[in-house]
Amino acid sequence: RKRRIGLIFGGRSGEHEVSLASAKSVIANLDHEKYEVIPIAITKTGAWLLGADPQALLTAGQDTQPETTTTTVTLTGDPNVRRLIPLEGGEQLRENGALDAIFPVMHGTTGEDGALQGLLEMANVPYVGCGVLGSALGMDKEKMKMIFQTIGLPIVDYLVYRRHEWERSPEAVMDAIEQRLGYPIFIKPANLGSSVGINKAHNRAELEHAINVAAEYDRKIVIEKGINCRELECAVLGNDEPIVSIVGEVAASSEFFDYNAKYIDNKSEITIPAAIPQATAEEIRRQALQAFLALDLSGLARVDFFLEKETGQVYMNEVNTLPGFTQVSMYPMLWEASGIPYSELLDRLIELGIERHADRQ
Ligand code: ATP
Ligand code: MG
Ligand code: MG
Ligand code: MG
């Protein structure tokens, strides 16, 4: 029997469109001899859509409002517990039975941050990727940094403010930031990705604007010292005994790797393996593994680093627990170059999800 894989994509986050692109790639590369794919789209307004045609669903997922009546769909076949989530627009799942695993091809808030993972835990269905804690830690740039500091991984100097502190005393906040970090600095919503809501500030006027932008996305705002750096990434795969890929470099087409450089203008360059000293690559791979274990990650993560140009110092930037998954995305490309082709990578991720689920029973 083919394994039935529920593929969840879209979602309410600022990375909705990125998720659609990743989902198209995953659907195209899953071995259809082995898997029956059940696409489940979440619209920008948060409605769950179910339908037969992935392509139509991918388009429909973008902006249409569902008009169909709500049906409830059983996620698992366990007769003792009725594990139900509401889905709109289809009877397909109910007719065909339970899912063997869920592949959340979601980026950003509620998909990558542990919220969806919590729902899937409650539904008792195996799923690809990190659990609730790992997902949450990997998404929250403040908590992630706190753990990196605890285990001694080098990070750039930073400050964190809550939205209400900012609204109450903006001048004092900006004074404190200027004193501690100077310019240039990066202003980020604490929980997001794809550079959504991130700006680089070179002066106080830009700083004020950047904090206002970040505060629209999150009640917590992270401000980091900006460094002149190359950007290196490496891929981790596994559960208790993860493996680490070779190191890749990404060179942004603009001043920094903003949303436009990542997804719109297509001029960014990926180099695999990165042209860096062997010792630096080994150091990065070692730190990637440490980060993966310290944050309690499982399944997969892309771990991102800065290499300061003047000093050669390596800094840990962040992890991404559901990294971009198109055929030209760094995570699958790093594995491709490390000897694991895209389709096999998907097989392994599904196996790891099922294995992790069994471990927790
Ligand atoms: P992702 O799409 O990888 O999830 P993200 O939205 O989580 O990204 P970051 O990786 O924190 O955001 O930052 C986005 C980009 O901004 C980086 O790839 C880099 O180009 C630039 N950047 C962020 N912080 C710094 C910094 N402290 N110094 C220099 N450049 C930075
Ligand atoms: Mg990120
Ligand atoms: Mg991300
Ligand atoms: Mg990043």
Question: Are the beta carbons of 71 and 88 closer than 8 angstroms?
Answer: yes
Q: How confident is the model over 92-115, as a mean pLDDT?
A: 83
- Give residue 31's Cα distance to chain centre: 23
Tokens for 111? 């998909």
Question: Mutate which of 159, 186, 304 to test ligand 1's pocket (most atoms within 8 Å of Cβ)?
Answer: 186
Domains delineated in the chain:
3-127 (3.40.50.20), 138-154+228-359 (3.30.470.20), 158-225 (3.30.1490.20)
Pull the structure tokens for residue 3.
Answer: 């394994």
- Three-state SS letters, 116-141: HHHHHHHHCCCECCCCHHHHHHHHEH
361: CA distance to ligand 2 center in Å? 30
Asked if 100 and 76 count as a contact pair (C-beta separation under 8 A), the reply is: no
The interaxial angle of helices 141-150 and 278-294, nearest 10 deg, is 110
Residue 213's nearest CA partner among 263, 166, 159 is: 166
pLDDT for res 51: 66
Judged against a pLDDT cut of 60, whether residue 60 lies above it is answered with no
Q: Whose CA is nearest to atom 20 of ligand 1?
A: 257
In 3D space, the residue among 268, 270, 274, 276 whose CA is nearest the CA of residue 245 turns out to be 274
Q: Which of 92-106, 157-171, 263-277 has the highest mean pLDDT?
A: 157-171
Mean pLDDT across 190-209: 95
Is the CB of residue 256 below 6 angstroms from any atom belonging to ligand 1? yes
On average, the pLDDT of the chain sits at: 88
Q: Which residues pair with 44 in a beta bridge?
A: none
* Higher-confidence position of 168 and 55: 168
Helix (H, G, I), strand (E, B) or coil at 343: helix
Q: Is the CB of 186 under 6 A from ligand 1?
A: yes
Place of tokens 């559960």: 239
Q: What's residue 77's pLDDT?
A: 38
165 three-state secondary structure: helix
Q: Which two tokens stand for residue 199?
A: 């700006």
Distance 224 CA to ligand 3 centre (A): 17
Nearest CA to 300 among 250, 219, 234? 234
Q: In testing the pocket of ligand 1, which one of 159, 198, 253 has its CB within 8 Å of the most ligand atoms?
A: 198
Q: Is residue 170 helix, strand or coil?
A: helix
Q: Cα(206)–Cα(185) distance, rounded to whole angstroms?
A: 10
Question: Which atom of ligand 1 has the smallest separation from the CA of 15?
Answer: 2
| pLDDT value of residue 49 | 83
Q: What is the DSSP letter of 66?
A: P
The finding on whether 198 has its CB within 6 A of some atom of ligand 1 is yes
| All residues with CB under 5 Å from ion ligand 2 | 193, 318, 320
Give the tens place of pLDDT for each residue, 217-243: 999 999 999 999 999 999 999 999 999
User: N- to C-terminal Cα distance for the chain?
Assistant: 24
* Ligand 1, pocket-test mutation among 231, 257, 300, 326, most atoms within 8 A of CB: 257
| Residue pLDDT, tens place only, 116-131 | 999 999 989 999 999 9
Q: Is the per-residue pLDDT at 258 higher than 80?
A: yes
Q: What is the pLDDT of residues 341-351, one digit of tens each?
A: 999 999 999 99
User: Which of 199, 25, 40, 19 lies closest to 109, judged by CA?
Assistant: 19
pLDDT digits (tens, 9 = 90+) for 139-176: 999 999 999 999 999 999 999 999 999 999 999 999 99
pLDDT band at 80 (very low <50, low <70, confident <90, very high): very low
- Supply φ then ψ for residue 22, to 5 degrees: -65, -45
Query: 194-199 — which CB contacts under 8 Å span 24+ positions?
Result: 194/14, 194/15, 194/18, 194/107, 194/108, 194/259, 194/262, 194/263, 194/324, 195/256, 195/257, 195/258, 195/259, 195/261, 195/262, 196/14, 196/15, 196/108, 196/259, 197/14, 198/258
Residue with tokens 């070779």: 246
> Residue 234: what pLDDT?
98
Query: Is the confidence at residue 52, as pLDDT, over 60?
Result: no
* Nearest one of 286, 320, 315 to 303, comparing CA atoms: 320
Q: Is the CB of 193 under 6 A from ligand 1?
A: yes
ipTM above 0.90? yes
